[in-house]
Amino acid sequence: MAELKAVEYKRFEDIKHIRSDGTEYWLARELSVELGYTEWRNFSKVLDKARLACKNSGFDMEDHFVEVNKMVEIGSGTKRSILEYELSRYACYLIVQNGDPRKEVIAHGQTYFAIQTRRQEVADYFNQLDEDNKRLVVRGNIKQWNKMLAEAAYNAGLITNTEYAVFQNAGYQGLYGGLDVDDIHKRKGLNKEDKILDFMGSEELAANLFRITQTESKLKRENIHGAEAATLTHHAVGKKVRQTITDLGGTMPEDLPTPEKSILQVEREQIAELKRKAKEKPLMLDE
């Protein structure tokens, strides 16, 4: 296993570039190939999300996503200019964070590009964000952790979609005082196709993130097996989180206000704003 990781890490080390001043960077187009993206347009979507995450983390995007022009041959000796990015290690980390952690190459990339951040600085900046940007940050974390929770549940023995639906409902019922997914959906007045997580404020999202991370950790730590045992665990964790909110004098999640805009709408608006600021410089060419 150690030898495999060394090989996987080497693939990222091999495409690292060093500037004359000794600083390191990676080219977005080279990284996309190593991460298994055969279509540039698919990678550019991940890149957009990473740039937005960088902005919401309080860092200057221009320091981590440096725009450069690259000449490429298009046949018969003719060349044209395309947009390229010189990526910092942090930028690469944000990119792989938006990938699927179940893919081995993405998992290795997350480890390779992992950086140590000062938690207090991050927390301070988070508290300065407006509500919509707080929602974006927490919802992004939930997407990643939900993938890992699904994997942990599968390893615990939840195989069918029905078993996983019951498992998910149990977690919500524990946290929401008996309300399941359908109940919460109706309480928020959502359409059938809407996802309830996309219509939560930052406080409600944070409570659910805690439920998800603690359930994933408990399933793995205690080596829980069986659909029933895993489902009971999810319910117990959700109930414990609810009790913690009670002990702190907080508002129950079902009583928190439902935002008017979905996370998807907020994300689309923010990405569109980034592109507007770039004016005639698009985030990436669609090839």
Given a cut of 60, is residue 286 above it in pLDDT?
Answer: no
**What per-residue confidence (pLDDT) applies to 124?**
64
Beta-sheet strand order (sheet of 78-87): 16-18, 24-27, 78-87, 65-75
Q: Residues 188-235: pLDDT tens digits?
A: 999 988 999 999 999 999 999 999 999 999 999 999 999 999 999 999
Is residue 285 a part of any domain in this protein? no
**Quick check: 113 and 180 in contact, CB under 8 A?**
no
Clarify whether residues 63 and 138 are in a common domain.
Answer: no
CA distance 268 to 274: 10
Mean pLDDT of the chain: 85
207 contacts 245 by C-beta, under 8 angstroms: yes
Q: How confident is the model at residue 80 (pLDDT cuts 50, 70, 90)?
A: confident
Quote the percentage of the chain above a pLDDT of 90. 51
Section 157-181 average pLDDT: 95
Same domain, yes or no, for 76 and 171? no
| Distance in angstroms (rounded) separating the CA atoms of residues 208 and 147 | 14
Shared-domain flag, residues 160 and 193: yes
pLDDT score, position 10: 81
In this structure, the answer to whether residues 73 and 175 fall within a common structural domain is: no
CB 274, CB 268: distance < 8 Å: no
* Residue 278 is assigned to a structural domain of this protein: no
The pair of three-digit structure tokens given for residue 248, joined into one six-digit string: 């702190």
Structure tokens at 4: 């495999």
Tell whether 158 is covered by a domain: yes
- Domain extent at residue 58: 2-120
137 plus 64 within the same structural domain = no
**Which one, of 117, 87, 95, 113, lies nearest residue 19 by Cα?**
87
Buried b (16+ CB within 10 A) or exposed e, 2-39: eeeeeebeeebeeeeeeeeeeeebbbbbbbbeebebee
Of 97, 91, 24, 23, give the one whose Cα is nearest residue 54: 91
> Domains in the chain: how many in total?
2
Q: Are residues 261 and 195 in the same domain?
A: yes
Q: Read off the pLDDT of residues 4-13 as tens digits, 9 standing for 90 and up.
A: 455 566 888 8
| Cα–chain center distance at 71 | 32
Q: 9: which 2 tokens?
A: 């890490």
In this structure, the answer to whether residues 12 and 114 fall within a common structural domain is yes
286 domain residue, yes or no: no
102 or 249, which is more confident: 249
